[in-house]
Amino acid sequence: MRAWIAGLVLVAGCGREASPPDPPGQARVSGRAIFRGTHKRGVIQIPPGDCQHHHPDKPPLKEDIVAAPDGGLRDVLVYIKSGLDAKYAPPAQAAVIDQKACTYVPHVSAIMVSQDLEVVNSDATYHNVHFHVRANAERNFSMEGVGRRLLKAPFETPELRVPIECDQHSWMAARLHVLPHPKFAVTGEDGRFEIPGLPAGTYTLAALHDLLGERTLQITLADAESKPGVELIFEK
């Protein structure tokens, strides 16, 4: 089944709640990822064992394409791909990935190079966390029940689409994006994103979905300009 992205368009005045002003001279871009098409999420067949009790009534659904009834598309990484000259230190706060009911939460994460990452196991279940990296040092460790593990600056090189898998439970899979700066967002259930704190300039804005691919758009921002209403249109 062929998939493609129809495009990214600017729609002036896209409604959203008011946001606090940025510092002087800082601009922001915001909008929404939208899925246009039909897709039926498949069911994850969990074999008998230590994870079935998390889903006593019905099995969980696959997370390949997750869209709200109004089309809001979850799990899209929106980021500044080029044009950003400033240098940024990694956030002091660690990013968090949880293992809950034998799934990874969130399904798609993004962190900055050298940012700490805390991996949580909320299940009283043995899990194995395996980051299948290409450009960074491999991370592969077990978590034997409820607990936390803090990885200090685990990724030193930018790398998109890092698969995360549990070697104990084959259906458990997620994605991690490692970026060289903090100007990114991952869309939630409503498909919305916002990237604040941008210097004036011309940028390449990119939207990346693990199944539907990537599309880019050039945007120009003046000092303190707010550019709302960017619609990232994905079709299949």
Beta pairing class for 192-198 and 27-36:
antiparallel
Are 171 and 52 within 8 A, CB to CB?
A: no
Amino acid at position 170, single letter: S
Beta pairing class for 201-209 and 184-186:
unpaired
Closest of 190, 191, 195 to residue 219, by C-alpha: 195
DSSP secondary structure letters along 89-117? PPPSSPEEEEEETTEEESSEEEEETT--E
Higher pLDDT among residues 187 and 48, named by residue? 187
Q: Measure CA of the first residue to CA of the last residue in the chain; give whole Å.
A: 8
- From the CA atom positions of the chain, what is the Rg in Å? 19
71/91 Cα distance (integer angstroms): 32
- Residue 222: pLDDT band (50, 70, 90) is very high
Arithmetic mean of pLDDT over the chain: 90
Closest of 77, 147, 83, 141 to residue 112, by C-alpha: 77
pLDDT at 49: 81
Residue 21 tokens, joined: 């002003």
pLDDT mean over 117-137? 97
- Residue 20: pLDDT band (50, 70, 90) is very low
pLDDT at 74: 98
pLDDT at 6: 40
Residue 7 has pLDDT above 90, yes or no: no
Q: What is the dihedral of CA 58, 59, 64, 67, to 10 degrees?
A: 10
140/132 Cα distance (integer angstroms): 8
CA distances from 186 to 63, 107, 141, 146 (A): 15, 10, 26, 27
CA distances from 80 to 57, 114, 180, 217 (A): 42, 18, 10, 10
- Domains of the chain (ranges; CATH) run 1-78+187-236 (2.60.40.10), 89-180 (2.60.40.420)
9/36 Cα distance (integer angstroms): 14
pLDDT at 11: 38
Chain segment 89-114, per-residue pLDDT in tens: 999 999 999 999 999 999 999 999 99
Chain segment 29-46, per-residue pLDDT in tens: 999 999 999 999 999 988
Query: To which residue do tokens 């967002």 refer?
Result: 185
Residue 113 tokens, joined: 């190079």
